[in-house]
Structures are given as C-alpha cells and as structure tokens.
Amino acid sequence: MTPDERKVDENLLAKMRIVAARGFSNSAQGLSQMIGQDLSVHSPDVDMVPLADIPEILGGPDNDAVGVYLRVDGELIGQIMLVIPYQQALEFCDMVMDVPSGTTKEFGRMERSALAEIGNLTGSFFLNAIYEITGLSSHPSPPAVMVDMVGSILDVVIATMGAISDHIMMFKASFQIGDRKIQADFWIIPDPVTLEKLTVAEMKKE
C-alpha cells in the first residue's frame, strides 16, 4: 500500500467511525424498543480487512456461525452482514427473549425471526447514519438468515455480486443487556464504485 492509499484508507475509516457511533447508538434505541429491554451496542473500532483473511479471523472456515444478510441498493451498492459465532447467537436469542442462558438449543422460526430483525434494524440505522453524515442515500433488502460454516457464508456473499471490493469494512461489535454480552462482526462489503463514493464524500455540517 502506497502512502497515498494508506491516507485514503485512514480518512475513510475515520469517517466510518463517526458513522458507526451514530448508527449503533440509534440501533440500540430501536432494538431496546423492539425487545422491551435496555440494550446497548458498542463498536470499538473498524478496519479494512482482506476478504481472504475473514475465515481465519473468525476461527477457521469450518466454524459454525449465523449470518444476517442485507443487500444494499441506491446511491450506495453493496452488502451488509451481521456475523455471530454459533454459540454466541444462541446466547443472543436467550438475551433478547429474556430467558436463562442455555435455553435456546436451535434456530427455529422464532429465533431466526428475532435475529433477522436485529440484523435488519442494525443495518438500516447504519445506512441512515451514512445518509445523515454524507448525504448518500441507500436502502436495504429484507434480511436473510444463514446458519452455516463461516466459509460457506462468505461464499454466498461473494457469489451474490459480480464486482466487489477485495476488502471489507469490519466492525467488532458487542451487544449487551445488563451483565449479559455477546460479540459479533458487522461487515460492510461495498462494490468498488461505492467505496470510492464513501471515500470522497464530504461530511455534512450539522
């Protein structure tokens, strides 16, 4: 990476940190209203990660996980994915349904519906934050829930778009209710044109 490319990346990531702070804060409010509990969402940082490195970051391509997928259309084109390790996703269902840890054993219709709505709200508020900060408007597709190995989930993401960036924006997010907390990865996978739009977009003045 050249110094100029590194500067562009750093400028983009700085912008996305501001977006994330607003988007995750608003999604926490929306999720709290949905489940009737005080839920907080934190994302300590964001990084540009090569697609090829994702499986190992998540513990290996054969690790089971749950992905909530949203396609993004409009001025911005790409994909959003909320990825949660399998056991963490079971605990997440217990948290939002306010039942003891270990209650959820599998992902039935109710559990999938809950995870779909969590991914949908998180992604939608994130896109709203991008619009509020940059003026770039986009909208998400209905959410799709995938329960599979990490490698298979990533294959689906890659196969659904003809042209995607070879890097994704990865946010390490945590969702917390009281003293119960789970870790998740929030991916933004833009196409190359969208990545350029986000890079050059001017921040709107408040």
Q: Give tens-digit pLDDT for 95-112.
A: 999 999 999 999 999 999
Q: At what angle do helices 3-35 and 109-134 cross, to 10 degrees?
A: 130
**What percentage of the chain exceeds 90 in pLDDT?**
59
| pLDDT over 70 at 85, yes or no | yes
Cα separation, 78 vs 76, whole angstroms: 7
How big is the chain, counted in residues? 206
206 — pLDDT class (breaks 50, 70, 90): low
At the top level of CATH, the class of 3-200 is alpha beta
Which range is least confidently modeled, 16-25, 79-88, 141-150, 163-172?
A: 163-172
Listed range (25-34, 50-59, 117-126, 136-145) with the worst mean pLDDT:
50-59
Mean pLDDT of the chain: 88
Q: Is 145 within 8 Å of 117 (Cβ atoms)?
A: no
Q: Nearest CA to 206 among 74, 22, 28?
A: 22
- Residue 84: the pLDDT is 95
What pLDDT is attached to residue 114? Answer: 95
Give the pLDDT of residue 7.
46
> End-to-end CA distance of the chain, in Å?
34
Q: Residues of the chain with pLDDT > 70: what percent?
A: 91
Instruction: Say if residue 200 is exposed, middle or buried (CB neighbours under 10 Å; 0-12, 13-18, 19+).
Output: exposed
Amino acid letter, residue 22: R
Residue 164 has what pLDDT? 60
At 165, phi and psi to the nearest 5? -65, 155
The string of pLDDT tens digits covering residues 2-58 is: 443 444 578 888 888 999 999 999 999 999 999 999 999 988 678 888 888 888 888
Residue 81, token pair as written in the block: 């994915």
- Residue 67: strand pairing partners: 83, 146
